Amino acid sequence: MAISFSGRSVSAQKNPLTGKKPNIILILVDDMGFADIGCYGSEIETPNLDRLAREGLRFRQFYNCSRCCPTRASILTGLYPHQTGIGDMVNPGFDFGKPGYRGRLNRQCVTIAEVLGSTGYHTFMSGKWHLSQDPDCLPNDRGFEEYYGLLYGAGNYFKPKGLMRNRDEINPEDLPLDYYTTDAFTDMALEFIKKYQPDGKPFFLYLAYNAPHWPLHAKPEDIEKYQGKYLKGWDVLRQERYERQIGLKIIDRKWRLSERDPKVPAWDDISEELKIKTALKMSVYAGMIDCIDQNIGKLVQCLGNMGILDNTLIMFLSDNGACWETGAFGFDWNIKYSLQKYKELNEIGTAKSFVSYGRCWSNVGNTPFRLHKHWVHEGGISTPLIAYWPSGITEKGKISEEIGHVVDIMATCLDVSGAEYPEAFKGNQILPLEGKSLAPVFAEKKRDGHEFIGWEHEGNRAILKDNWKLVSAYPDEWELYDLEDDRTETNNLAKNHPLKRIEMEKLYQEWARSHWVEPWNPVNKYWPWIKSTIKPG
């Protein structure tokens, strides 16, 4: 295997007691909002994540790429999504014939697993891939020794189709009756660790839960825990989360809570029947997050029992903001079960249902911000980031104000492992790394941060430099915000600062040209069915 390295030399942060390189666990959840876990302001019970935050480090301004596939591409490669070929979504059906929009990971990028695997790490993945369904671009082709999970973006939690063990598909009819993907992904991750742990080599685990992405499926005991808790409605809950966030110092008091999404009615204006139904959907969603937390607790306990927890870096984050899809109250996509009648409500959350919760609750999940998954306003791109590393993080419980982006995950893994980013890999030239390591923040040292950060997804555009953010929701005009005073983007300053708007727009255009971003209108003409399918707006 031909690998040439860039000469970017870093020193591995070895455990001072053992002299060993750290294990690295990257936990990615799906469609979870900024405010959906306890240590970021939620009423949902997440004691295990709260413990990781209390004994680790939280970031309050960390960004993703606003959608499943682009974030996954960026997080694994340290590049912006268009540079990897996944400027939109993945094949089949998303190859627009442009380098930044081929719908699969290209060979001008290299994954964390490929780099760490070539430097002596074991590499495992358990969970949702969603970076290609092509037979030559599966997890085992991109550096993972072991894989278990789903290739697709969404599916049944109790009997999923497209479930893979390495390259072999698993028949859903062969799964046990109590199968649930969140539990299964954790169990298989632990199986991988236990299988290889005796040889003493460090490992990289990418644990990518498909929860809490729709369909809303949860175990009965997890739903029951939250029954009735959401009948107070989204307006009250949003305000409560906002006040909790201020108390936790996750947000500044001077940032106003953004207005309720204009496409969502006031809770008091909907029928009692609709209140019961939408509250139940949110109870299922809460149960899904609760189950994630239970599984993270199980993982951490097992690592402790194995004696390897102290030398393991765990990073936890979400791939995008909470999901609006589709409409104010979500969808009920069922053939046999319409779920429109009260007598069928008890089936919501079971394998008989295939539902989402809609804008009304994603607006709560993204508290205090505007908009949702797909958009690049703060609600679509802001994620919790918890870093936990007993032997590597010096100030426990700190909330960092460092600005970061998912491109930084690769750089961080390189930094703590001592690996080098390659100029070439398996005969292919590799694009220069975009990310900046977070490791100095772990040790309370000065970090080399970003000069600016750019976004584009399906015409939604943004550029962030210093405290200034220029952003547009396709096809609207540019908006300009000073995030120091107004992170919730409630006071558009574009008319007040025309020269700053022009300066920022020029910077965006330069970033877009150099990162394979195309104007959305010419791109989406290759997507002939876009007019008849669901899209943001």
The torsion angles phi and psi of 305, rounded to 5 degrees, stand at: -65, -30
Can you list the residues of the chain whose pLDDT is less than 50? Answer: 1-12, 15-17, 335, 337-343, 527-537
Residue 412 is assigned to a structural domain of this protein: yes
Residues 87/100, Cβ–Cβ less than 8 Å: yes
Identify whether the C-beta of residue 323 lies closer than 8 Å to the C-beta of residue 190: no
Q: Is residue 118 assigned to a domain?
A: yes
Residues identified as active-site:
68, 130
pLDDT score of 13: 55
Tokens of 361: 């609750």
Distance of CA 162 to the CA centre of its chain: 21
Query: d(Cα 92, Cα 522) in Å, to the nearest integer?
Result: 20
Residues β-bridged to residue 125:
147, 206
pTM above 0.85, yes or no: yes
Structural domain includes residue 212 = yes
SS (H, E, C) 316-340: EEECCCCCCCCCCCCCECCCCCCCC
**SS3 of 370-417:** CCCCCCCCHHHHEEEEEEECCCCCCCCCEEEEEEEECCHHHHHHHHHH
pLDDT in tens, 336-367: 544 443 347 888 999 989 999 999 999 999 99
The CA distance from 358 to 257, in Å, is 20
Nearby residues of 413 by Cβ (< 8 Å), 6 or more positions away: 24, 26, 112, 115, 116, 204, 419
In a domain, 513, yes or no: no
Would 20 be classed as within a structural domain?
Answer: yes
- Cα–Cα–Cα angle for 471, 472, 473, rounded to 5 degrees: 130
The CATH number of whichever domain residue 14 belongs to comes to: 3.40.720.10
Domain that holds residue 109: 3-452
Structure-token match 């046990």, residue found:
176
Q: What is the pLDDT of residue 64?
A: 99
76 inside domain: yes
CB distance 313 to 204 below 8 Å: no
Q: How many structural domains are present in the chain?
A: 1
Note the pLDDT of residue 251.
Answer: 98
For position 470, what pLDDT does the model report?
99
Q: Is 524 within a domain?
A: no
Please tell me the distance from the alpha carbon of residue 478 to that of residue 387, in angstroms, as a whole number.
34
pLDDT at position 528: 42
Q: Does residue 497 form part of some domain?
A: no
